[in-house]
Amino acid sequence: MPVGSTVVITYDGSNNITNSVLFESASFESQLNAQPGTFEVRVKDPNRTLFFETGKELSLTVDGVKLFGGYVTSVERTFPFPVVDTSTINTVDQRQWVLRGVDYNILFDKRVLRDDSNPPDSYLEHFPFFTKDTLDGDLILDLTSDFIDFPAGFTTTGVTNIVPPFDPLNEGTSGEGAWLQQGSLWRAQMQDFAQFSGAVWYIDPNKNLIYRALENSWARWGFSDVPNKQAITTSPATYQHATYGFRELDITEDGSSIVNDAFVWGGSAFGSTDGGTFFWREQNTDSIAEHGLWQFAEAEFGSPLHASQDGVTARARVIVTGDPTSADPANGRGLVYPQYTIRLTWFGHDVPLLSGSPSHLRPGDL
């Protein structure tokens, strides 16, 4: 007989509210690449003893695997029926709470760059410059330690080096790079670095900041309409061709975001006497032949990251191919490819066991 999963929902760190949650009303949604996911849970409070407030953390763990973590942003007190007799308050047992919120990726929009090394004077100064050959991962570590209020309990072990943002083609040219100005959002600085690396970046449910060239979180099993229900093992930690059944499948190919011809300008504005104007056009002829011509243009005059030919070339390549150093790496990255959305449903008791515990899919798994 199938055995159900063990689900734990906690509020404010250690308060287990699982038994009070109406599961048919609970929903948790995670999104990729730092877009904040959302949740909504309805909590019964028959004894009128519970209390919730915004800003507290809420998490979802299934069979020991933390699948969601975030913050309560909305607290609603309600009753399930239009009318409730409250003349005798001690007999009122229908009170409920509705908690809504977002996952940890909201922090990219709720932290600002600042220099509090010597307040108040340091708030009035430009951030210190860094050498152009400084790698993006190292810069992000400096950012989290010195220039934002990085939350306690969060880690940066998922941050890796990909390219120097101010020397994305690794030409080794001398010079300095610059941060965004004080008051900029953390998200804006991450986007500034990632635009030259094509990096995947987000905060996972375990409070770890991720920044890497390609997602490397593998699922050992997948789905098939002819499932083999093969067992999975600890090694290799990649897809093992084990397949399980599903239902309610919907696959959509979306070509609206395809870019196979990118124009990028940088340096000084047209007609300016301040310096040169730089330009690069990146095309993917295979994609044009298959999907037609889909263009995109970006003019970033005055941007330090677009102040050289190397920077403009790298940016155009990242847009089309996802790789700043190659014109056509055919690596499955970049906007040259149509995007796929796959929706399906599977039963928790079908999840294969790994060392005796269900190997649940996690947001970001390949």
- pTM for the whole thing? 0.83
Q: Determine the Cα–Cα distance for residues 286 and 288; give it in Å rounded to an integer.
A: 5
Q: What is the pLDDT along the chain (366 residues), one digit of tens a residue?
A: 456 788 999 999 889 999 999 999 899 998 878 999 999 999 999 888 899 999 999 999 998 889 999 999 999 998 877 766 777 767 667 788 999 999 999 999 999 999 999 989 999 999 999 999 999 999 999 999 999 999 999 999 999 999 998 888 777 777 889 999 999 999 999 999 998 888 899 999 999 999 998 777 788 999 998 999 999 999 998 899 999 999 899 999 999 999 999 999 999 888 666 668 999 999 999 899 999 999 999 999 988 888 888 889 989 998 998 887 776 666 667 888 898 888 888 887 888 988 888 888 877 777
- Chain centroid to Cα 108, Å, comes to 10
Domain-wise residue ranges, the chain: 7-103, 121-212
CB burial of residue 147 (10 Å; 0-12, 13-18, 19+): buried
Cα–Cα dist 360/349, whole Å = 10
Per-residue model confidence (pLDDT) at position 8: 96
Q: Name all contacts of 153-158 with Cβ < 8 Å and 24+ positions apart.
A: 153/207, 154/104, 154/203, 154/207, 154/208, 154/209, 155/207, 155/208, 155/209, 156/208, 156/209, 157/208, 158/204, 158/208, 158/209, 158/210, 158/211, 158/212
- CATH for 7-103 is 2.30.300.10
Give me the helices (H) in 90-177, please: 136-142
* Residues sharing a CB contact under 8 Å with residue 222, sequence separation 6 or more, in sequence order: 239, 241, 242, 243, 244
> What integer pLDDT is reported at residue 328 of this predicted model?
65
